[in-house]
Copies of this chain bind each other. A is one copy, B any other.
Amino acid sequence: MTAAPKPRQTRQRTEILSALAAAGDFRSAQQWHDVLRHESSTVGLATVYRALQSLAESGEVDAVVTDSGETLYRRCEAGEEHHHHLRCRRCGAAEEIDVPDFEDWAAKLARKHGYSSLDHTVEITGLCTVCARSSD
């Protein structure tokens, strides 16, 4: 197993974390990079990619992959349970939803099939009211 090597606390990492904390929605690495640049930060794009990636692995941020293959990141409130989203595939708006009993159910099912180290993705997408109206 990979014993978590504990990342150093750098200026860049701090800035990225506060950007994440300030805006609560899903954005791509490039978008977060833009945000930081507009706040006169000098973080490099590669650094943003690396930070978001490691934060996602350690569970400190949520990550979803869009249909086009882009990865979006969002802050994950501390102490919050693992959760799921209802997302607009047009504008990206996301609402947190609660999937009753899903966790338990998934664990049980996987065990039955002999699977371990579980993970899962539940993504419900659609068109939000605004986007649905403008798509006729």
Nearest chain B CB to A132 CB, angstrom units:
5
- Chain B residues in 8 Å Cβ range of A86: 109-110, 113, 115
Identify A126's interface contact among B105, B110, B126, B128, CB under 8 A. B110
Asked if A129 CB lies within 8 Å of chain B CBs, one says: yes
Number of copies of this protein chain within its complex? 2
| Chain B residues near A113 (CB-CB < 8 A) | 86, 95, 128
A17 within 8 A of B: no
Interface-lining segment among A5-13, A18-26, A41-49, A67-75: A67-75
* Nearest-CB residue, chain B, relative to A100: B105
Instruction: For A116, list chain B residues within 8 Å (CB).
Output: 126-127, 132
Cα of A72 to Cα of B66 in the assembled complex, Å: 14
Complex formed: what's the CA distance from A88 to B114 in Å?
11
A67-B65, A86-B109 in contact; A127/B123 too (CB < 8 A)? no
Query: Which A residues have a C-beta under 8 Å from some C-beta of B?
Result: 65-67, 69-71, 86, 88-89, 95, 97, 100, 105-106, 109-110, 113-129, 132
**16 A-B contact pairs sorted by A residue (CB < 8 Å):** A65-B66, A65-B67, A69-B70, A86-B110, A88-B115, A95-B113, A100-B105, A109-B124, A113-B128, A115-B126, A115-B127, A116-B132, A117-B127, A118-B124, A121-B123, A122-B122
